[in-house]
Structure 1
């Protein structure tokens, strides 16, 4: 318990204001909220998320998980998620650190390892807290207090964090992600291809080629790992980006839909309502009235 309390104190010190704050440590971001939030969309990169105080619900398709100071979240591939802070107040704010997974470093750790068993672990999962993992994360955040040490020590601590993840209950999943030729690694490449051109018409053949898979294999394994088809994944990217444009920049629904690749305003409105539960204008008004954040937390 002491370690998670120490982590909370560090995050609170270096994230004194609400919202997400990038840091001088590459791949490390800190998040603070003094209040619960309405569901907010965001694309989560492959990352480790440790809540030091408060709790949050994260959802994708038909899967939803809740985590807090006793459980951490591991996102193994880039996913368009809906996040909802459940517990937070000015006296006991929601405090979280997010550590992006360095896949090159992960692969280097696996150079000497052989093949592993097949993994059917979910790409989005919550696990019981690990004191050693929390301690390593605290030391990484603490480097913000000694900036001169970041360049030398941050990579060593990040390597330790990856090692502890590899030796944890999700090690098999991470090994497959980092192993060239594994289905998880191929789907990671497919996701990168979709994200790189999500405003363009989705061509399954091109995505399959980028992943090194056949179109049928891409569909099957993409659905297993992300719980959605490549087309559904692209739609979520488009709709989440459009929602952010309307919230953050005040653009109209028609302009937002067009900017993310929709040719038909009616199709955009229909798909938007299906995902967010209300037409664009009504949804944005609801978020504004609720004081929703304009950035992912």
Structure 2
């Protein structure tokens, strides 16, 4: 038995490397210029040939895979780094800072992302009988896990469809379902499963995140959110931090600062007016918080962004 397991492990190791090599080749051929392109419905391929700056934004529920290179993602107090040997799964749209840390013109950063639709995930959960399994009631919304051969196999078959549009019409939905099934039955199962539960704690926190995002310019009352979810204030605070890797106040701060940056860069507002627009009462305090996140005072940061753009 040990000999059989050893041989299977060796075969899987060879297959994994073959799939990694093919994924690099497929993405390299599909996207020849730097940028991110939606190549199939809900499927995005990316390329970067030179080191990039930190990117501040949000990421919708997705499976993220790197074919070549490496990336660091910061969500709240947590740091995630992944590469061709790991994948990143996120199930709540959270503010994050990301940066590609391994890239060159000879070996550009090549990436794959598949958007996760809760309805599709729920359909696979029911069809595969995964709804009866005991699950972790409070998984993290963002996680990095090893990329195994069972997941990489359908992922490579999906990217092959980029050059086969007729096949894609039939095969794309089927392969997406297979990928979701592999996620549900793997290390990421608990995390993905909670994307489908209407009354689970993770879904409750997703609702709270959406409320904070919509009302980011209003005063934050944790007690009111907790009451809406029939939670104690302390329980809500702990659940929120476990799922999102940040406190409600930290989340609101990130959303406010990202919106202020957009207003200054895109609409030409000065720092004071941007601060007031996003809910700050003290422009000096806003400037200090802005610098703590983006590394420079507001107007200096915007000048640098415009000069580099």
Coarse TM-score class (shorter-chain normalised): 0.7 to 0.9
What is the RMSD of the two structures over their aligned residues, measured on CA atoms? 2.6
| C-alpha deviation, 1:225, in angstroms | 1.2
Larger relative helix fraction: 2
In structure 2, relative to structure 1, the CA distance for the partners of 1:138 and 1:279 (3 Å cut) is same
Higher relative contact order (CA 8 A, sep 6+): 1
| C-alpha deviation, 1:210, in angstroms | 6.1
In structure 2, relative to structure 1, the CA distance for the partners of 1:147 and 1:255 (3 Å cut) is farther
Choose 185-194 or 81-90, whichever is displaced more.
185-194
Count of matched residue pairs? 290
Choose 158-167 or 197-206, whichever is displaced more.
197-206
Does residue 86 of structure 1 match 2:104? Answer: no
Contact preservation (8 Å) 1:190, 1:210: no
In the alignment, structure 1 segments of 5+ residues that lack a partner are none
* Structural mapping, 1:1-297, within 5 Å: 1-23=17-39, 25-111=40-126, 112=129, 113-114=131-132, 116-119=134-137, 121-204=139-222, 207-208=225-226, 211=229, 213-247=231-265, 251-285=269-303, 291=308
Contact preservation (8 Å) 2:70, 2:82: yes
Contact preservation (8 Å) 1:71, 1:127: yes
Partners of 1:116 and 1:179 in 2: CA distance = 13
Provide, for residues 109-168 of structure 1, a one-character-per-residue CA deviation record: whole Å limited to 9, x for no partner: 223422524345432221112223222222223322233444432221111111000111
Partners of 2:73 and 2:288 in 1: CA distance = 24
Contact preservation (8 Å) 1:38, 1:287: no
Contact preservation (8 Å) 2:139, 2:242: no
| C-alpha deviation, 1:241, in angstroms | 3.0
Contact preservation (8 Å) 1:43, 1:237: no
In structure 2, relative to structure 1, the CA distance for the partners of 1:244 and 1:29 (3 Å cut) is farther
In the alignment, structure 2 segments of 5+ residues that lack a partner are 1-16
| C-alpha deviation, 1:18, in angstroms | 1.5
In structure 2, relative to structure 1, the CA distance for the partners of 1:208 and 1:120 (3 Å cut) is closer
Choose 140-149 or 124-133, whichever is displaced more.
140-149
| C-alpha deviation, 1:86, in angstroms | 0.6
Partners of 1:249 and 1:30 in 2: CA distance = 30
Choose 256-265 or 43-52, whichever is displaced more.
256-265
